[in-house]
Amino acid sequence: MPIQDVSRLTHPNQFMLATDLDGTLLAGTPEARSRVRALFAAAPRHAQLVFVTGRGLESILPLLSDPTIPTPDYIIADVGATIVDGAELRPVGNLQQEIAERWPGSQAVLKALAGFPGLQRQSVPQERRCSFLAAEADVTPALRAAVDMLGCDLLMSAGCYLDVLPRGVGKGPALLRLAAELGIDPGTILVAGDTLNDLSMFETGVRGIVVGGAEPALVQKLRRWPQVHIARGEGCDGILEGLVRHGVLPPARPARRTVERGDADLVMVYHRLPFDEVEVDGRIERRRPKSPNGIIPTLLRFFAGSRRGSWVAWSQQDSRTPDDFDTHVDVDPAYPRLRAARIPLTAEDVDLFYKKFSKEAFWPIIFSFPDKAEFNQAHWERFLDVNRLFAEQTAREAAEGACVWVHDYNLWMVPAFLRPLRPDLKIAFFHHTAFPSSDVFNILPWRRDIVGSLLQCDYVGFHIPRYVENFVDAVRSFAPVELGPAQPCAPRFLTYGCALGVDTMTTSIDAGGRRIELGAHPVGTDAALIERLVRTPAVADSAAALEDYLGGVTGIVSIERLDYVKGSLEKLHAFERLLEEHPEHVGKVTLLNIITPAAPGMEIYESLRVEVDRAVGRINGRFSTLNWVPVRYFYRSLPFEEVVAHYAACGVAWIAPLRDGLNLVAKEYVIARKAAGKSGVLILSEFCGAAVELHGALLTNPYDTQSMIDTLHQALTMGADEQAYRTARMAMIATEHDVVRWGDDFLAAVAGQDDDRAAA
């Protein structure tokens, strides 16, 4: 189709578009909508945009978070009764106050019209107006007289919408008042609309565009008006057509694809490459990740067959335009149809985007520690810049209609940049972390942008139902949302008696005209790998050596990354109190406390490490004997084989984060114990996602020291039969819902959208 060069205005200093929304700016082909958006993004000083709509301001809010819709400079809402600026939503001058002074009030209007049973009040937000559903036959002389007695005007449109407005108020008069307030020449204004309630805009005498598919009565009235163009194209197609007709844009030229398309049917968008880049003798070598466990090996499985794929991730380089840099590289001979698409980022990019901003601004909010959050607008701009690079590279990789799977909060804004570039793509997003309650999430200064970006997805996945509901609540705090079907959470997930339990889960929402499917998909672990490792001589020997080292003492294994959300200090304080309150455990239990260091450069965790060191030293100083040390502390990463050996050797696993999205250590532990032919006790914080999935864990409240003490004492005194029952139950859950099934179920749910929509 022909396209307009939206980067070049014919009259760059004289252009304001005042447009209706429904049926006009919000309609049209995706390509045309993208071009209209680009027009106002490319020329913000030369082209101003005004939303002129019958919607209430509250109903417009979701559009302001939608990255596919241009941002307005001003908003005229409520059929002209509300006039605000588009940035702060503040009234423009005294215009709104003047309108309010002419409004008798909703209660007075409703009382005066109570005797007209054909009027049905619309259930939409309304300010300084009353809107009804009515048939044209209901608009009688008596009704008009009643409205006139109120000092109001009556407006009927589309044969069913009736508005009672303050006298002299309408879209057209409001537009002229706004232009006068701003000192704008009406000759520079163009209006666009599609129904009779837009007529007053055209009656101002400015140039106009009636888009295709408009209400016939409007077309009939304006057909012979010389300053009005009756467009063939609907929505934004008609707007572009009219802008050319009025000389604002140059004539259309033959279309060309503005975004190069690739051939990947599935695109993984992940911050990490599926291999490690290691410098050896001045050369970069690509090596498989050290850990055989984790998400990356699972995601690679999807490319083992004939599926064409691309893996978009960053590669740290000296500059964003390095010499002799190959964007595309092969990943592994085992995946011949998969290529990595590397985005060159500098060390500063990585430091600001990932190590600083993501961890200092997002991480504390995600895990409900808002007092630790630090917000920096300059860092947000860098975050946007990096996300834009990811989106642009993804757009170049994906085949027509491909599936794009975006991973985690580091890439929250990728859908916002990707959807306008490639409206054809199916975008799925998975959160590998928690998602906080809406009152905590809304602390983020950029909450609207993030929600607006996620609403560009076709499918959004979370670990557990509670996070799904938290997301729905966050969306509802910005926009009217139509909820789709709810499904029961039991028996898959705990519903009651657990901090993160909910009884039903929303499976889809409709917001801003888009339907987004939602799902809960707790990540699994590689059960088969763990079972194999437990049976290897090396792991069996290591486990036996650990048991000999413990010398008949019950081992309590605790493995976590250095992070304030993991509750390492709280756990040590509770263990110290246990030895005080239950001296019978002194000399009988040993806490194997393994803490993995944070990534280099993460200064935010340094003070925590010092406090942990002190706590361990204090406990060991107080309780150690010549033959026994209460805490064995390891501040280092262990190979996964050694981790599995610790699972096999320890009768209790103590996992008590203050918050955690899921926690795979819990699943690894019960699988390893079952594979070793042993039972064990899993203590799990009720604030980690796995607590609602692993039926049989002992749940504890990490904020309540006494709860931690009592639960640990219960674990250490639990009978063998109960241990065996609980272990078998949890191991079955973790094995059945392993990481392979997680990936398969997620992509099946994404693909299931097409089936659902075809059947609808």
Same domain? For 126 and 70 the reply is no
The backbone torsions φ and ψ at residue 554, rounded to the nearest 5 degrees and listed phi first, read -70, 125
In the listed set 496, 520, 544, which residue is the last one of a domain according to the structure? 520
Whether residue 40 contacts residue 244, with contact meaning beta carbons closer than 8 Å, is answered with no
Report the candidate in 578, 680, 670, 697 with the shortest Cα–Cα distance to residue 631. Answer: 578
- pLDDT given at position 1: 45
Sign of CA dihedral 459, 462, 468, 473: negative
Tell me how far apart the alpha carbons of residues 73 and 16 are, in angstroms, rounded to a whole number: 10
pLDDT in tens, 448-468: 899 999 999 999 999 999 999
Contact 13, 45 (CB under 8 A): no
- What the block records as the tokens of 405 is 């799977």
544 is a domain residue: yes
207 and 328 assigned to the same domain: no
pTM of the model as a whole: 0.84
Classify residue 347: in a domain, yes or no: no
**Does residue 694 sit in the same domain as residue 722?**
yes
Distances (CA, A) of 330 to 274, 319, 633, 732: 10, 22, 41, 37
Q: Are residues 634 and 707 in the same domain?
A: yes
* CA nearest neighbour of 292 among 677, 644, 593, 561: 644
Claim to verify: residue 83 and residue 133 sit in the same structural domain: no
Note down the domain range covering 406. Answer: 264-340+385-520
Q: Please tell me the distance from the alpha carbon of residue 487 to that of residue 404, in angstroms, as a whole number.
A: 26
What CATH number is attached to the domain comprising 422? Answer: 3.40.50.2000
Span 27-72, pLDDT tens digits: 998 889 888 988 888 766 788 999 999 888 888 888 888 888 999 9
- Asked whether residue 605 falls in the same domain as residue 550, the answer is yes
pLDDT tens digit sequence for 304-337: 888 999 999 999 999 999 988 899 999 988 899 9
Residue 362 counted as domain residue: no
Domain for residue 1, yes or no? yes
583 and 714, same domain (yes or no): yes
Q: What is the CATH number of the domain that holds 152?
A: 3.90.1070.10
DSSP category for residue 724: H
pLDDT at residue 658 is higher than 60: yes
pLDDT digits (tens, 9 = 90+) for 714-753: 999 999 999 999 999 999 999 999 999 999 999 999 998 5
Q: Region 379-390: what's the mean pLDDT?
A: 95
Percent of the chain with pLDDT over 70: 94
Q: In sequence order, what are the residues at sequence separation of 6 or more whose Cβ sits closer than 8 angstroms to the Cβ of residue 98?
A: none
Task: Say whether pLDDT at 11 is over 80.
Answer: no
Q: 533 and 598: one domain?
A: yes
Asked if the structure places residue 625 within a domain, the reply is yes
Q: Which residues pair with 399 in a beta bridge?
A: none
- Per-residue confidence at 7, pLDDT binned at 50, 70, 90? very low
Neighbours of 564 (CB within 10 A): 21
- For residue 150, tell me if it sits in a domain: yes
Residues 125, 110: one domain? yes
- Asked if 80 and 193 touch (Cβ cutoff 8 Å), the reply is no
pLDDT at 284: 76
pLDDT tens, 590-608?
999 999 998 766 666 888 9
pLDDT in tens, 466-510: 999 999 999 998 877 899 999 999 999 999 889 999 999 999 999
| Number of structural domains the chain divides into | 4
Residues 441, 474 contacting (CB under 8 angstroms): yes
Amino acid at 367: F
Report how far residue 592's alpha carbon sits from residue 572's, in angstroms, rounded to the nearest whole number: 11
pLDDT of residue 602: 66
Query: Does the pLDDT value for residue 258 go beyond 80?
Result: no
Residue-wise pLDDT tens digits, 83-107: 999 988 999 989 989 999 999 999 9
Question: What's the rounded Cα separation, in Å, for the pair 82 and 129?
Answer: 10
Residues 536 and 617 in one domain: yes
Classify residue 379: in a domain, yes or no: no
Structure tokens at 102: 């002419």
Confidence of residue 214 (pLDDT cuts 50, 70, 90): very high
In a domain, 535, yes or no: yes
Angle between helix axes 664-675 and 720-736 (nearest 10 degrees) is: 120
Confidence of residue 292 (pLDDT cuts 50, 70, 90): low
Same domain, 719 and 639: yes
Domain end among 461, 495, 520? 520
Please list the alpha-helical segments (H only) found in 355-413: 363-366, 377-397
Higher pLDDT, 184 or 604: 184
Same domain flag for 696 and 595: yes
Identify the domain boundary among 494, 520, 546: 520
What pLDDT is attached to residue 538? 97
- CATH code, domain with 231: 3.40.50.1000
Whole-angstrom distance, CA of residue 687 vs CA of residue 104: 52
Q: What's the whole-number average pLDDT of the chain?
A: 92
Q: How far apart are CA 161 and CA 8, in angstroms?
A: 39
Secondary-structure breakdown of the chain: helix, strand, coil percentages, each rounded to the nearest 5 = 40, 20, 35
Taking each helix axis from N to C terminus, what angle separates 447-454 and 57-64, rounded to the nearest 10 degrees?
80
Task: Dump pLDDT digits (tens) for 118-138.
Answer: 999 998 888 899 999 999 999
